[in-house]
Amino acid sequence: MEASEDDNEYDEDYKDNGRSHDALLRKIGMLCQRCIENERLIKRLKMELRLSKSTARQTKRQIRIDYDWDGKEANFADSVLSFVKEYLFPHFKFLKDGWIDYDKGQDSFSTFVQGKVQIPEGAEYKDQWERVICPTIQAKYVTIRCNLNNEIQRTYKSKFIQLRTMLFQHY
C-alpha cells in the first residue's frame, strides 16, 4: 500500500531532522500552551456572544451557564457573594465608574478585591476577574439594591397607610 502525499507531509513534520529530543519537547510544550490560550479565547468569545443575546436580570444559575463556570468556579462565586454581602456592600454602597475594568495598579479595585478573596488553586486571576468575580459582584449589588428598595418602600408605605388611616379617623 502506497503512502499518499498528505501522509508523507505529516511524517516530514514529525521527523527528528537532526533536532534533539529536548527541542521537540519544547515545541510540544509551546504548542500545548498555545492550545490552552486558544481555548481561553474561545471560551471568552462564546461568553461574550451569550451575553450579547441576554438582556434580563440574571439568576446565579443563568450566570453560571452564560459564563461557563465549572464546580470550582461556582463555589468560588459563593465565596465572592459572601464577601460582597458581609464586607463590600456595607463599606461601599456605590462602586466607582470603571470598577469592572481589570487593572494591576496598587490602588485599583481589582487589586483590592484580589487581596480579600482567594481564587481557586491553579486559576489565573484576570480570567477569574472577568468570568466570575465581576458578574458575581454585579449580580449581588443588583439584588441587594432591589431588596433594599423594596424594604424602604414597604416601611414607608406602611407608615403612609397608618398616617392616612389616622387622618381619616379624625375627619
pLDDT, the chain, mean: 79
pLDDT at 51: 62
130: closest CA among 61, 53, 41? 41
125: closest CA among 139, 114, 134, 112? 114
pLDDT tens-digit readout, 119-152: 888 888 998 998 899 989 988 888 877 766 777 7
Question: What three-state secondary structure class fits 10?
Answer: helix
25 and 46 assigned to the same domain: yes
Domain of 107 in residue numbering reads as: 56-170
pLDDT at 30: 93
Q: Answer yes or no: is 82 within a domain.
A: yes
Q: CA 16, CA 58: separation in Å to the nearest integer?
A: 53
pLDDT at 113: 92
120 and 150 assigned to the same domain: yes
pLDDT tens-digit readout, 75-127: 899 999 999 989 998 888 888 888 988 988 888 999 999 999 998 888 889 98
108 and 134 assigned to the same domain: yes
29 and 81 assigned to the same domain: no
pLDDT tens-digit readout, 9-64: 555 555 555 557 888 889 999 999 999 999 888 888 877 776 666 555 677 777 88
Q: CA 164, CA 22: separation in Å to the nearest integer?
A: 85
Q: Which pTM value belongs to this model?
A: 0.56
CA distance to 16, 27, 28, 31, 88, per residue, from 23 (Å) = 9, 6, 9, 12, 50
pLDDT at 46: 78
The count of domains in the chain is 2
Burial class (CB in 10 A: 0-12, 13-18, 19+), 151: exposed
25 and 84 assigned to the same domain: no
Rg of the chain over all Cα atoms, to the nearest angstrom: 27
31 and 103 assigned to the same domain: no
